[in-house]
């Protein structure tokens, strides 16, 4: 179905706006994936704060101009599915990685994070980033471990002084 010029401009503006507010982007080829699986993927994307869109390559290239995701222009070949992570940089990568496990035909083409292009094989770098809550929990456990070690050290010094005084 042919798109009118106004429709193309609207798509470019919408994708550009999504790109400007995104933390990371993942591009994939969804050729051969069933409609029901794609519907499930879209639902999961909404739940995880990921903007998901199928875009024509020329429109995607235009939409990426002037954003930190301009480095993805080389992977816009063939059918293109773009996922922009809005809440957590690894959300889109994690979503696509999990989806690819159950769908042989789904192929990740490339990723971008903070203006840097990453090959599809590096999806684990983004997918394994801790969420905000996980990062806070790790920080708290480090702080707790350090403070308990300090308390044990001070108690040992006190006991050693008491033993020496007696």
Average pLDDT over the chain, rounded to whole? 86
Contact between 84 and 51 under an 8 Å Cβ cutoff? The reply is yes
Tens digits of residue pLDDT in 126-148: 777 777 777 788 888 888 888 88
pLDDT in tens, 74-120: 888 888 899 998 888 888 888 988 898 888 888 888 898 888 888 88
> Which residues partner with 111 through β-bridges?
26, 118
Look at the block and give the residue holding tokens 């969804």: 30
Q: Who's near 1: CB < 8 A, 6+ residues apart?
A: none
CA distance 73 to 151: 55
**pLDDT band at residue 42, thresholds of 50, 70 and 90?**
very high
CA distance 69 to 117: 8
pLDDT of the residue at 122: 78
Written as six digits, the tokens of 30 are 């969804």
CA–CA gap between residue 89 and residue 3 (Å, rounded): 32
- Taking the C-alpha atoms of residue 112 and residue 126, their distance in angstroms, rounded to an integer, is 9
Residue recorded with tokens 């192929």 = 107
Strand-by-strand arrangement of the 81-85 sheet: 50-54, 81-85, 24-29, 107-113, 116-119
43 pLDDT more than 90: yes
């Amino acid at each position: 179905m042919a798109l009118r010029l106004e429709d193309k401009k609207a798509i470019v503006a919408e994708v550009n706006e999504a790109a400007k507010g995104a933390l990371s982007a993942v591009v994939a080829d969804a050729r051969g994936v069933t409609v029901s699986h794609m519907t499930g993927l879209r639902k999961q994307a909404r739940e995880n704060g990921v903007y998901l869109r199928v875009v024509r390559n020329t429109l995607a290239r235009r939409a990426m101009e002037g954003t930190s995701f301009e480095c993805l222009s080389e992977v816009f070949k063939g059918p293109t599915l773009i996922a922009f992570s809005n809440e957590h940089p690894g959300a889109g990568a994690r979503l696509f990685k999990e989806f690819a496990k159950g769908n042989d035909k789904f192929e990740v083409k490339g990723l971008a994070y903070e203006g840097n292009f990453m090959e599809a094989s590096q999806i684990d770098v983004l997918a394994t980033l801790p969420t905000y809550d996980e990062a806070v929990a790790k920080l708290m456990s480090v702080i707790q471990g350090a403070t308990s070690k300090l308390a044990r050290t001070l108690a040992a010094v006190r006991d050693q002084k008491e033993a020496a005084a007696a």
